[in-house]
Amino acid sequence: MSDPGAIPLGLAQQKAARPVDPEQLEMMGKRAASLHATQGTTLSDAVVEIVKEAFLAPEQVKRVCEFANTSAYLSEFEKSGQMRNITFEGGPADPGRVLQDLNDGSNPAVHQIKHADYSPPAGSYKDDQPVVADEEAAFAAAFGLAKAAADHTARAKPIEEVYDLRVRLEGMRDDMLSKLSSSQVLLDTVKEDLCQATKQEVLGGSSLSDIAQAWSGYTPTAEMLKEAVSLTCHHLREHQVLDREGLIDSMNKTASAGSIPNPSHPVVERFIALTKVAQKHGELQAAIEMVNEQLLTVNAKLKELA
């Protein structure tokens, strides 16, 4: 039997652990995500590898797992653009498994203390962590939306759990907004490049009809082609390359029939670049909208619990 007057190990470890800045925990999580991406290590094993010499408390290890899952998720999202289809081989970093691995062996890596080092607590405390194992939960865990543990007594105050979730969602949104800002700069750059390439083609004798025909073979949607034509027409008129009548005449010329346009041609290459950047930009905007919807739900839940 366990000593009824002993402090539960999780709480005792937390009290005895050295303070660590949240920025350091976030950096450890990002390093674990990088290890997972470059070496194929599962996220749980990657976290174990990164924190095994750090002597962290259970709650600190949990935060590293959260940062690792978020960083890995965002990295995969940037690659695929498919928010709902992201899964990790071996699942997301699981705090319960990480803590178990760290405490195996003769020299545990999680900070341990003797029960006698502290006086008995006034109440009890459970430090159990929910385990996410199925693929559906992988997406939820990457968003910080882990399924609730079956034992609802694991958390003394549900409002703290919901508040932590809001903090993680706000962190994800801030990260995405930062990426969206960088994406906007890149989008403006590729738009300007496309306008300059189109200007040179028109000055060289090509008609807008010919250019639009070349783009049509590489456009993902008709709407994208329409936006590119509108963008370049505005640029040509603004820089006095063609007036209104000249634009109409250039667009109405019969497009030359011929082979598939060369994708490495400057005017085509820049159009392809625009479509890719614009698509990723739109996906980031959609992701931010989804997180904002989640935040509305979480905030409503906080009001309910309060």
pLDDT at 153 over 50: no
> How far, in Å, CA of 44 to CA of 132, rounded?
11
pLDDT at 158 over 50: yes
- Residue 146 zone, left/alpha/beta (φ > 0; ψ -120 to 50; rest): beta
In this structure, the number of other CB atoms found within 10 A of the CB of residue 232 comes to: 27
Confidence (pLDDT) at 131:
42
User: What's the chain's average pLDDT?
Assistant: 76
Residue corresponding to tokens 């997972």: 36
More confidently predicted of 229 and 110? 229
Could you say which DSSP state residue 205 is in?
T
**Nearest Cα to Cα of residue 145 among 176, 178, 174, 172:** 172
Could you read off the pLDDT of 192-230 as tens digits, one per residue? 999 999 999 999 988 999 999 999 989 999 999 999 999
**Nearest Cα to Cα of residue 183 among 284, 106, 45:** 284
Confidence (pLDDT) at 140:
52
Predicted confidence band of residue 105 (pLDDT cuts 50, 70, 90): very low
Question: pTM value?
Answer: 0.51
Most confident of 18-32, 66-80, 104-118: 18-32
More confidently predicted of 255 and 106? 255
CA distances from 269 to 182, 189, 202, 205 (A): 21, 14, 16, 19
CA distances from 81 to 37, 66, 89, 282 (A): 17, 21, 18, 10
Predicted confidence band of residue 79 (pLDDT cuts 50, 70, 90): low
**Nearest Cα to Cα of residue 235 among 207, 193, 268, 276:** 193
Q: Which tokens belong to 236? A: 């040509």
In this structure, the number of other CB atoms found within 10 A of the CB of residue 222 comes to: 9
Least confident of 11-20, 81-90, 198-207: 11-20
